A = this chain, B = another copy of it.
Amino acid sequence: MIDIMHSLEKPMNQLENNLDPQLWHACAGGMAQIPPLNSNVYYFPQGHVEHAAKNVDFRGFPRISSLVPCRVASIRYLADAGTDEVYAKIGLVPLRGGECEVDDGVELLGFDRNGEDKEKPNSFAKTLTQSDANNGGGFSVPRYCAETIFPRLDYTAEPPVQTILAKDVHGAVWKFRHIYRGTPRRHLLTTGWSNFVNQKKLLAGDSIVFLRSENGELCVGIRRAKLGIGGGPEVSSGWNVGAASGGRSGLYGFSSDVKEKCNVKAEFVIEAVSLAAGGRPFEVVYYPRASTPEFVVKASVVRAAMRVQWCPGIRFKMAFETEDSSRISWFMGTISSVQVDDPIHWPNSPWRILQVAWDEPDLLQNVKRVNPWLVELGARHAQFVLSSSDLHLNKLQLGLRPFDFKPLDYGSDLPKFITGDPLENPNSNASPHCPKTESSVQHLKKPNEGKNGVNTPTFVLFGQPILTEQQISQSCSVNVMPEGTASPRLRDESKEAYDSNGCEQRQ
């Protein structure tokens, strides 16, 4: 009923165009987690206030619990008309006391139906180099992107060249000349690229996302670089830079038309909180690339974290997006104390209840308090399987945590891929910059044409997962293998591709 209200009424009077959720997620980056439709979540007013651009006035602020159990009634994937920045409007319906404790059976179902874990369209993200962003220059297309995302090029021509059309988040079509030339040969975008860079005001460090949507159309999205922590060389906290927010306008000499990263207004927060306090449906706006923690979190995840006995001294690790937003890095730390962040306004709130000390304090100076459901408690070596979906997005989804990796080197005898930083032993003399390690790929099946013309390779990776075996097995996209197991279990949809095509064994 409420669902119908949202899906019918909202599009009528609001002329906002939803965009492809796949493209939205590609632009949002690896840290963004939108809970599935109809799943149970907790809404944190405190986090919502923090998400707002300007300070919220607490005079006359409604009385409300620090966390409100809700059901996700609607999700609208949107993009800012001026900057292409993606954001979402999430409709939430507060749950009554009885409902909130029942773990929702639709959760996994919704996850599946959401298409988040289905046959994903190919996408590829690249951070712009200085040469890419230079005026007058072209764009160096990584071979993997050109071969798997772009339309097939006729290599018999000399030189091989084609025109590429790509839709942006607003549906506007951009034209590029795609050519394969030079010695050694490489893929380039030339004509049209410079115009795109200028129109979108792209700078070196911004990322561009190419995505082949389900209907075969090529899409292009933008992930603007976050404002780095003042001088932090490697890592921009993908989670919270504290007071160092406010867009990059000052730094890069942008004119005033560049908006703040987060446009959530204080009055809308108060409106949402008032409705939530009254148990009435409400809607929140969420900017996935704003550097504040998500304030709508899957209920099961929060509850799992709340069951842990958090104590000073506990060691943990936590994910952050790297500065170029191409990968996710894991940082280790120790809980220094467990205490309520803002006892005056939010007594008993779990929000940012953990005060932490980082092993590398320099890079995370502004991250002093974190949410318990965002930290992980241990690590062990294991073996797991990448589904074809993971591969298409170059992203391994381990429960909560996405895990980026680079494309495989098909030509080498022992293909490797670069993963995010594994959990280092705190006793070891780990480099302060968290050097990447390589995980070996054991089973490799080269990309093949699937039923929809989508490549569906399957891999078995011996690597270093960062979740418990139980957590991993709960995840839809990964199956844990006992160490040394040769033939992995596969999910149904992956199995189909696997069975029909066999598994090419290498080495």
Task: List A residues at the B interface (Cβ < 8 Å).
Answer: 81-82, 256-257
Contact = CB atoms under 8 A, between A and B. Distances in A.
A81 B257 CA distance: 10
Contacts of A257: 82, 257
Q: How many copies does the complex hold?
A: 2
A174 to B, nearest CB: 15
Nearest to A199: B255
A15 to B, nearest CB: 13
A256 B257 CA distance: 12
The 4 A-B pairs of least Cβ separation, nearest first, read A81-B256, A257-B257, A82-B257, A82-B256
Contacts of A82: 256-257
4 contacts: A81-B256, A82-B256, A82-B257, A257-B257
Nearest to A257: B257
A495 to B, nearest CB: 49
A256 B80 CA distance: 12
A175 B119 CA distance: 58
A81 B81 CA distance: 20
A239 to B, nearest CB: 32
A363 to B, nearest CB: 35
A257 B255 CA distance: 13
A56 B81 CA distance: 26
Nearest to A81: B256
Contacts of A256: 81-82
A195 to B, nearest CB: 14
A257 B81 CA distance: 10
A249 to B, nearest CB: 13
A257 B257 CA distance: 9
A290 to B, nearest CB: 23
Nearest to A256: B81
